Structure 1
């Protein structure tokens, strides 16, 4: 077999691309999350469940990049014929890839969950709340099962990275088909979150549009990643064929986490660029919160900017905020005070 393979074939490597894509997505997402946490904790003095979830998500993404980086130094992204020259490296690559797959699944799931929890805090329509809870529960159950199935598809999980250990396993097509289903579900989940966000904002704003565009790109990355899932059952050259699947998973994870964090950055951008940031940037307006009230994820912590205001002939102003409509006979009075100062000169 060695005579059939050219040296150029054996020297081919996707390892630099694996490392570059992994760390680029992890570092960019990490910086955005750190900026988000600075705004939430240092500037707004609040910390919600969506912030806690996004921290776990970025930890999973950084760990995923680290695991794949190590795997790429010993054979991931190289042809199987090259890696087989050192059987121990082949076993370690297979083990690290399995660990990486589970981390990637959880990073993506938690990033989307964080965004859904943020939406839970700002939506007011009951059908939106019910749909969001359905998405959160369904997405987490299915993806947690997918992360576990990476290791549970064989009675003895060690067989997955060391075929010399005998074990009874599922047919390769079973896990591949389930992975395709999960990949399709993730794409639909991103699209659904974007639709819910847009439905909650009758007027599309810059920050919302940017976050939604990242969500669309994350959905596109999920679709591309899904096309590579067949590599899970293509054992002929898995160290080479698995690389695109893993880096597209990193792209999806990084974009999902970044999209979940972008809408919270308005106060920091206003501070950095006070004359260039439009007041309509953010989809979420965070009022001042007492300094002692750190961990709060209640409705009172976040003020939504939905509905519209109108001034009536009698001089009162009412704000329609979803279901909380003013009762008949009640008005919100608006008083405008004007102060005029006249300066006389030459007298």
Structure 2
């Protein structure tokens, strides 16, 4: 769940930087999210080598290992939270470059702000729930702490809210393309942009394991399912955000497929090539070059149908030169 998203993000960066020659905030955010996910995997791996995944009675045979596992779990939880929220934020920022309706923009900004707010608070609360944070992984250090249920209940709320935002971000692309003039095979764009629904499903499963946060008696064993599903949610969220931008790469790998005919909701159409047509009698010669017409049935319609202002539409320019050669 760390390597697969990393591969997809690298392919996304290849498309964005090498093929498209562009780099936006959503690209930077997804890089940071992937770095957090890889760091989370590394922390969990180190913790597993010294006792994570075993019962606490076994790990306690070396008290230092027990302290280190507890500290690494807290660090890993914070990294997992940030990887999750940044991966979803990257996808939301990508959608902001596509949508033009005001209510969609408001919804996306609401999702971005509230999702980051609650998740950043959750990451901070891991370390501030005790006056002396060292008490969290070393109970021998005295400190005054919150009641255990306070942090657990807040994490349950964050998990449920995060899962709800996954479904919002997954369904929003359908509101963009639902009423557009599209071929059935081109509905695949909406499916590709809606893969975050699987991250939402993983978030629901992860939330059911959040009660383990309050179980300190055997935390080295009880936390494992939660850590697993946190990685699954993070990996799916980042993969979904990266996959939605890979159409140009797939079109290059499969040049003869129907991928090239799909709508591209971000890039502008290129200028048509110059063509010459002759009739069979040799009496009429039609030369097509450049000119200016408004295209109403092409893929530019995907943006026009969403725009309340016609100045925001895209026009395709074509020049037509017709030459008649009359023979006697």
Q: TM-score, normalised by structure 2?
A: 0.82
Structure 2 unaligned regions, length at least 5 = 271-294
Q: Which residue of 1 aligns with 2:309?
A: 324
Q: Is the 8 Å Cα contact of residues 67 and 100 (structure 1) preserved in structure 2?
A: yes
Deviations for 1:282-331, whole angstroms, at most 9, x for unmatched residues?
A: 65342489xxxxxxxxxxxxxxxxxx9359xxxxxx9545212279xxx9
Give aligned pairs, total. 288
Rate the CA distance shift 1:325–1:287 in 2: closer, same or farther, 3 A.
closer
Q: Indicate the SS of the match to 1:236.
A: coil
User: Which one has more relative contact order, counting CA pairs under 8 Å at least 6 apart?
Assistant: 1
Rate the CA distance shift 1:245–1:320 in 2: closer, same or farther, 3 A.
closer
Q: Which residue of 2 aligns with 1:113?
A: 89
* d(CA) in 2 for partners of 1:332, 1:211: 26
Displacement of 1:201: 1.5
Q: Is the 8 Å Cα contact of residues 63 and 103 (structure 1) preserved in structure 2?
A: yes
Displacement of 1:333: 8.0
- Asked whether 1:309 is paired with 2:296, we answer yes
Of 150, 161, 165 in structure 2, the residue corresponding to residue 185 of structure 1 is 161
Of 231, 239, 260 in structure 2, the residue corresponding to residue 258 of structure 1 is 239
User: Any residues of structure 2 matched to 1:229-308 within 5 Å, and which?
Assistant: 229-279=210-260, 281=262, 284-287=265-268
* d(CA) in 1 for partners of 2:323, 2:213: 73
Structure 1 unaligned regions, length at least 5 = 1-24, 290-307, 312-317, 341-347
* d(CA) in 2 for partners of 1:192, 1:336: 46
Displacement of 1:200: 1.1
Q: Which residue of 2 aligns with 1:224?
A: 205
Q: Which residue of 2 aligns with 1:76?
A: 52
* d(CA) in 2 for partners of 1:245, 1:237: 14
* d(CA) in 2 for partners of 1:163, 1:50: 41
Q: Which residue of 2 aligns with 1:127?
A: 103
Q: Indicate the SS of the match to 1:122.
A: coil
Q: Is the 8 Å Cα contact of residues 132 and 144 (structure 2) preserved in structure 1?
A: yes
Q: Indicate the SS of the match to 1:164.
A: coil
Q: Is the 8 Å Cα contact of residues 80 and 230 (structure 2) preserved in structure 1?
A: yes
Deviations for 1:197-216, whole angstroms, at most 9, x for unmatched residues?
A: 1111225621330341x311
Q: Which residue of 1 aligns with 2:18?
A: 42
Displacement of 1:338: 8.5
Q: TM-score, normalised by structure 1?
A: 0.78
Deviations for 1:142-174, whole angstroms, at most 9, x for unmatched residues?
A: 110000000000000000000000000001100
- Asked whether 1:176 is paired with 2:152, we answer yes
Q: Is the 8 Å Cα contact of residues 184 and 223 (structure 1) preserved in structure 2?
A: yes
Rate the CA distance shift 1:335–1:150 in 2: closer, same or farther, 3 A.
same
Q: Indicate the SS of the match to 1:77.
A: coil
Q: Is the 8 Å Cα contact of residues 30 and 90 (structure 2) preserved in structure 1?
A: yes
Q: Is the 8 Å Cα contact of residues 44 and 288 (structure 1) preserved in structure 2?
A: no
